């Protein structure tokens, strides 16, 4: 969607804050010994408290309220009775709607205060997202986002997940532009237009390029390598984009 008036901006800011705060809350609760199913119950209550509806559940009949991708799972992981351990890699992706407006955000992180290679990978994807946002400007080619991520990945000997990417969002969970990749497709001549709302989400890996689909019909994974993601919903402008999914609450982990 394209933001056309102050009411639309306020609605996007409201749902953006809700999903961002829900993500921060779940990150704080993702401690050793808890299950992702328990975290999903917390997400259900949090979203309901603020009048929001889980997007994957309402749009796609996803069997959970939030996506939890654990270890070598890359995206769309199901909540389960799997117990988290210190040092585990976890991605939480929270998307929801309120009053007909959708926002989407996610982040990969390591459970517990553990310094390992997975944590370094998470730091890399944060930097990659910052670089991607820096080039998302009105009139700029959409593939410049992928180019920024691709150049950073090559510099640090990382690979890109080529079959996952960002997308338009706002009055539906997935809108035009349909795919904003973590790599540069030179054939893509699309450009960003003023006030367009998009979810930008780089996917980096320590070796994977493409992912597999699990037998559960939802979970995307790679059986050898770790992959990470970080995502914001933003409004494209002539200068740096406005980030709707900045948390406004803090939680003690």
State residue 221 phi and psi, 5-degree precision: -150, 170
Query: What is residue 252's predicted lDDT score, i.e. its pLDDT?
Result: 79
Digit-coded pLDDT (tens) for 7-24: 999 999 999 999 999 999
- Tell whether 250 is covered by a domain: no
DSSP-based three-state secondary structure for 134: helix
Cα 129 to Cα 114: distance, rounded to the nearest angstrom: 23
On the question of pLDDT at 26 being above 80, the answer is yes
- Tell whether 248 is covered by a domain: no
Strands 227-235 and 242-243 turn out to be antiparallel
State residue 153 phi and psi, 5-degree precision: -60, -45
Per-residue pLDDT band for 39 (boundaries 50, 70, 90) equals: very high
CB atoms within 10 A of CB 1: 19
Q: Which residues pair with 166 in a beta bridge?
A: 180
DSSP string, 196-225: BEEEE--EEESS-SS-EE-TTSS-EE-SS-
Domain extent at residue 123 = 6-243
CB atoms within 10 A of CB 121: 21
- Which residue in 169, 244, 239 sits closest to 10, CA to CA? 244
On the question of pLDDT at 253 being above 80, the answer is no
- Tell whether 212 is covered by a domain: yes
Q: Which residues pair with 93 in a beta bridge?
A: 67, 106
Digit-coded pLDDT (tens) for 168-224: 999 999 999 999 999 999 999 999 999 999 999 999 999 999 999 999 999 999 999
Query: What is residue 113's predicted lDDT score, i.e. its pLDDT?
Result: 82
- Tell whether 251 is covered by a domain: no
Query: What is residue 195's predicted lDDT score, i.e. its pLDDT?
Result: 98
- Return the percent helix, strand and coil in the chain, to nearest 5: 30, 30, 40
Cα distances from 104 to residues 17, 112, 114, 144, 163, in angstroms, run: 10, 25, 27, 21, 18
- Which residue in 81, 96, 77, 85 sits closest to 16, CA to CA? 96
- Tell whether 253 is covered by a domain: no
Q: Which residues pair with 191 in a beta bridge?
A: 141
- Tell whether 87 is covered by a domain: yes
Task: Report the CATH number at residue 127.
Answer: 3.90.230.10
Torsion over CA of 33, 39, 45 and 47, rounded to 10 degrees?
Answer: 150
- Tell whether 249 is covered by a domain: no
DSSP string, 115-127: -SHHHHHHHHHHH
- Tell whether 252 is covered by a domain: no
Digit-coded pLDDT (tens) for 61-118: 999 999 999 999 999 999 999 999 999 999 999 999 999 999 999 999 999 989 999 9
Question: What's the domain count of the chain?
Answer: 1
Mean pLDDT in residue range 24-41 = 98
């Amino acid at each position: 969607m394209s933001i056309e008036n102050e009411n639309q901006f306020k609605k996007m800011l409201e749902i953006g804050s809700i999903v961002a705060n829900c993500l921060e809350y779940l990150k704080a609760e993702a401690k050793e010994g808890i299950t992702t199913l328990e975290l999903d119950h917390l997400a259900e209550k949090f979203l309901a408290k603020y009048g929001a509806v889980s997007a994957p559940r309402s749009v796609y009949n996803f069997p959970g309220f939030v996506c939890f991708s654990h270890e070598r799972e890359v995206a769309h992981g199901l909540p389960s009775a799997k117990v988290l351990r210190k040092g585990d890699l976890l991605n939480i992706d929270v998307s929801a709607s309120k009053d007909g407006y959708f926002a989407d955000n996610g982040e990969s992180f390591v459970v517990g205060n553990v310094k390992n290679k997975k944590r370094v990978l998470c730091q890399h994807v944060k930097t990659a997202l910052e670089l991607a946002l820096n080039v998302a400007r009105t009139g700029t080619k959409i593939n410049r986002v992928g180019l920024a991520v691709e150049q950073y990945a090559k510099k640090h000997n990382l690979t890109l997940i080529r079959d996952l990417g960002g997308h338009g969002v706002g009055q539906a969970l997935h809108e035009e532009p349909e795919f904003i990749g973590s790599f540069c497709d030179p054939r893509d001549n699309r450009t960003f237009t003023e006030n367009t709302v998009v979810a930008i989400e780089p996917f980096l890996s320590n070796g994977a390029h493409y992912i597999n689909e699990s037998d559960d019909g939802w979970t995307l994974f790679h059986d050898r390598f770790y992959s990470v993601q970080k995502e914001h919903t933003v409004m494209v402008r002539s200068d740096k984009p406005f980030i709707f999914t900045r948390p406004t609450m803090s939680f003690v982990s």
